[in-house]
């Protein structure tokens, strides 16, 4: 997705540990027009399939997820990283090691919001080692819900996550694919660089 790549090139900052900071438009301040374009792209890629729910994880997945849900007119469910005191005990949960925070979170969703009849599109902001998506897939398994696919805004293709998902036979679409951060620059898949 060209406009997303351009924004990453213009505003992204490569941090130590292969972390891309995109706080200008995605992870802190959010550009709603760009999020809407991202939602439209996911609708183009997955919209032909039956989707009854969008599933993401708080907090940065919510913005692209909600735009996709808005366009498809389906609810957006986000897994929480901390159990809320207002949540009852009927939960689906999975352990997820956080790439950026280097801690393990237990992500949870209330089971009543994910019935077995759901056809789920998983959306997240970044794909690195696939921990977050794998946690969401485990939650869908617990619910016996069908996973339609996984849509990612920014995939770091040099890390293990993409293979981990596609090896399970899951339809993965990523809108910007990063091949490397060589010389602290963002290099996209398919681009020539030396
Ligand atoms: P994974 O679970 O695939 O290892 O990592 C994906 C999760 O970690 C995403 O939900 C995202 O919040 C965070 N993440 C991973 N890599 C990056 C990165 O380079 N930049 C930012 N801002 N977040 C990242």
- Residue 167 pLDDT more than 90? yes
Res 87 pLDDT > 70: no
Residue nearest to atom 9 of ligand 1 (CA): 126
Given a cut of 90, whether residue 83 has pLDDT beyond it is no
Given the structure tokens 């485990």, which residue do they identify? 138
Q: Right CATH number for 2-188 from 3.40.50.360, 3.40.50.2020, 3.40.50.970, 3.30.1600.10? A: 3.40.50.2020
In this prediction, residue 112 carries a pLDDT of 96
Ligand 1 atom closest to the Cα of residue 161 is 3
Domain boundary assignment for the chain: 2-188
Task: Please list every protein residue whose CB sits less than 6 Å from any atom of ligand 1.
Answer: 19-21, 27, 60, 99-100, 124-132, 161
> What is the pTM assigned to this prediction?
0.96
pLDDT tens digits, one per residue of 25-76: 999 999 999 999 999 999 999 999 999 999 999 999 999 999 999 999 999 9
* Complex-level ipTM beyond the 0.90 threshold: yes
Instruction: Quote the pLDDT of residue 20.
Output: 98
> 100 CA to middle of ligand 1, Å?
6
Please name the residue ranges forming H helices in the chain.
Answer: 2-11, 32-46, 62-72, 131-143, 161-166
Sequence-distant contacts of 141-145: CB under 8 A, at least 24 apart: 142/92, 142/93, 142/94, 143/92, 143/111, 143/114, 143/115, 143/116, 143/118, 144/116, 145/53, 145/114, 145/115, 145/116, 145/117, 145/118, 145/119, 145/120
């Amino acid at each position: 997705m060209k406009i997303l790549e351009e924004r990453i090139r213009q505003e992204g900052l490569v941090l130590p540990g292969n972390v891309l900071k995109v706080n200008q438009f995605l992870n802190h301040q959010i550009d709603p027009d760009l999020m809407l374009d991202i939602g439209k792209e996911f609708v183009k890629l997955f919209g032909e399939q039956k989707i009854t729910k969008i599933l993401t994880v708080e907090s940065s997945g919510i913005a692209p997820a909600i735009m996709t849900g808005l366009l498809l007119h389906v609810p957006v469910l986000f897994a929480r990283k901390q159990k809320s005191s207002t949540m009852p005990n009927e939960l689906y949960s999975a352990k997820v090691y956080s790439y950026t925070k280097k801690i393990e979170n237990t992500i949870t969703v209330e089971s009543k919001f994910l019935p077995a009849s759901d056809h789920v599109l998983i959306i997240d902001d970044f794909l690195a080692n696939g921990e977050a998506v794998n946690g969401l897939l485990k939650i869908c398994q617990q619910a016996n819900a069908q996973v339609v696919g996984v849509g990612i805004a920014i995939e770091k293709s040099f890390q293990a996550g993409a293979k981990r998902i596609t090896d399970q036979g899951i339809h993965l679409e990523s809108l910007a694919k990063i091949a490397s951060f060589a010389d602290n620059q963002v290099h996209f898949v398919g681009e020539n660089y030396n």
